Structure 1
Amino acid sequence: MSSDLAGFYAEKRQNKAADREQDRLDRQQEREQNRADAQARDDLRAKQRREALAEAKRRKAERAKKWSDRRTAFTRWLDTDADTAMVLPIMAVGMAAAITFQVDALTGAGFGRIFGGLPLMVALVLELGAAAATVMTVRAAKDGRPTGPFRVAMWACALVAATINAAHGWTMEMDGERLYWPAAVLFIISLAGTGYWEMRSIGRHGTSRRTKAERADDRARAKHLKRRKKKYQDVAARATEIILAKPYGDVDAEDAWADAWNDIKGAPLGMYADVYATRAAAHRATTKARAEAGEAALAAELDEFLDSLTQGGPDGDDSSGGTRKHRPTEPSGTGDAKAPEAPVEGPKTLGRKGKGLFRRSAPKTPQKPLDPADVIKVQKLAEALGGTEKLSTRNVREVLGGGSNEYVVRARDAVKNPKEGNQ
């Protein structure tokens, strides 16, 4: 019995310990759950705050973008339509003032006696007519259509209205004294709206107009075509025939002119028979002049060369006055008699430029051996002339200072044909 009670109480104590442990675990789990729930609530609140802050920033950015777009649109409007915004009030005020003075002027002129509203109707027709023609001018300019008729109507209405107002201003008086300046003021006011709108149209559609450089180029082209047509009337007539004979737009004006020039002149543009003849004559003259200049230069070089060879020769020094004593050669087979020495004028080729001439040698001695110095002179002459084929009896005799014909020929042949000359 006692053992059963002991077991019962032991079990009871164990159960109580287990319950306490379970209570502790439950409280611990509850605390952890409470902490997790609190953390989740904090995270949720932080997330909500972040989302609210991001939303506020987004809305602020949207508002800033809207204002930026509005500023950009306003700036763009200022760039594109500021002139319109400023001109429209000027037109409205000018029209109101012009209509007022026109009604006063027309009433004073007696239009009101016909019909009470007639002065106002006439003023409205003139002012609104000018405004309508102004708008039509702008649209025509935008579409690329001619604006001339609309401008004529616009300025006609404006000028009639301005004339009425100017005439009315001319009659104004103050303290019995007539004033003239109101006429100018009313005239300007009447034309202000139309004039400013016209300037606005010119500024806005200026890109479609020709620039100053383009207008100058067009004038120069027109002047060129006029002068060309006047200068070459036959070519112009043929070019017109070519353009008219072919389908419209099939041939360019410049191509037609080139073909017409070839048909009439028979040559490329800018050329014809007289030009070819003049060019050929100029080429012939130039060729001749160059040849003469070359010959003169060669002759001058030959003179200098001969002079360098004959200075201080065996027959004595040069004589003054551009001449030297010349001893004529005796015919072959004569005796020892010598002709008297006399100064004679040397050859023209060697005597120009004031250079002195040389003496000719004494009468020939038959079968006289060739002097090596003479052969050297002839060789130098051949080099100066550009080849042995240009050697002649005359120039060799001049280099050697005279001598018999036989000796001169042997000296020349010794240079031309060294083997034969040595035999």
Structure 2
Amino acid sequence: MSSWSEERRRNLAADAEQRRKDEDAREERRLKTQEAADKRRRDERRKDKEERRTEKVQRRRERAQRRQARAAKREKTFTPENVYRKGTLLLVGLSAAASLPAQILHFLQISWMLFPIGPAVEGAAWVMAAGVAYADERKLPAWVRWLLRVLSLSAAGFAANINYQYGTSLAGNGLSAAEAQVAGLGLAAVTLGGPLFFEVRQWVLTLTAKTASPKQQAEDKARRKHEKKRGKAFKDVVDRQKELLLAAPYGTLSAEEAFDRAWWYVKGAPRGLTADAIADRLDAEAEVAAVLAEAECTPERAAVELLLADLFGTDGGDGGAFGTPAASPIDGAPGGAAKDRTALGGKGKRPVRSTSATEAERPLEEADLETVRKLAEALGGTARLSARNVREAVGCRNDYALRLRNAIRTEEQGSTQ
């Protein structure tokens, strides 16, 4: 019996414990659900607050942009250019509004059938003034613009005369003679002033368009200056260029291509080169070749020696191109093999010698030496002698001219010593 009671008590205690656990779990779930709902509401409130702040910032930014746009529009609208453009048109419109009614009333007093004459005369002045603007836009010849100006001012002058007569005719109709005179002068002034103001406006706009791009103007000026200098320096080439441009179909040959061809036809060389320039280059090459030949070194060998020195660290002390050549013969000559070899000799090759060293040289003639002496005296010293001027004076080849020049310089050095 006691065991059953004990068992029942344990069961009741277990049920009570399970109920407490279930209640704790439900409470925990409820708390979690409530916490999640609170967090969701907090997130929603924070999101709504951020959206309101973003909208506020956006509205503030849009207001600032609108203010900037209005300020930019005002600044653009009230620039001197726009004020002048629109102000002139307003002034022209007021002038037309003041002068046209007087034209109409003047002819109506004569006959109602003459009503169209007033608008026709006034309109002729304005149409011709607009024609001047159109001619400027289309870059028509100057005589067309001046003809339209004369027609516009003639029509305006005729209308001004009519308005002046109408104004002076008002004397006695509630106006004194002086007041009528002033009215006539005023009507004549506005009649002439409208087309004149419009014409001045067109002049200003035309001049402004010409000076709208200072950089382009400077470039055009520099180009014209360059072409002028080119025409003076190479007149024969420029004349041939013009012939080529005229001979070619229109638009098929550019000016620079024509100049290239003309240079080639006249000078016989690509652009920038002349016979003198080529002769100077050949003289310089001949002088360098002569110096290298005296050192038993051709330009090709010098380049190879420098390359091998860079590759193998040769310092030139072993009989290279720029060192002292070996005193002993080469390749089995009496005295044995060469002790010091050049870079090429070290590879079983003989040092390259200039052909000018082996060829028979033409002996220097005394007459040629005397010619070169006189040339040096005329030039002011042997230092001014060059292979080119010696060649031109004697009429010989470059190598012979070099020998002549060197001989005269040697004579001078010997005489000074």
TM-score band, normalised by the shorter chain? 0.3 to 0.5
Q: TM-score, normalised by structure 1?
A: 0.45
TM-score (normalizing by structure 2) = 0.45
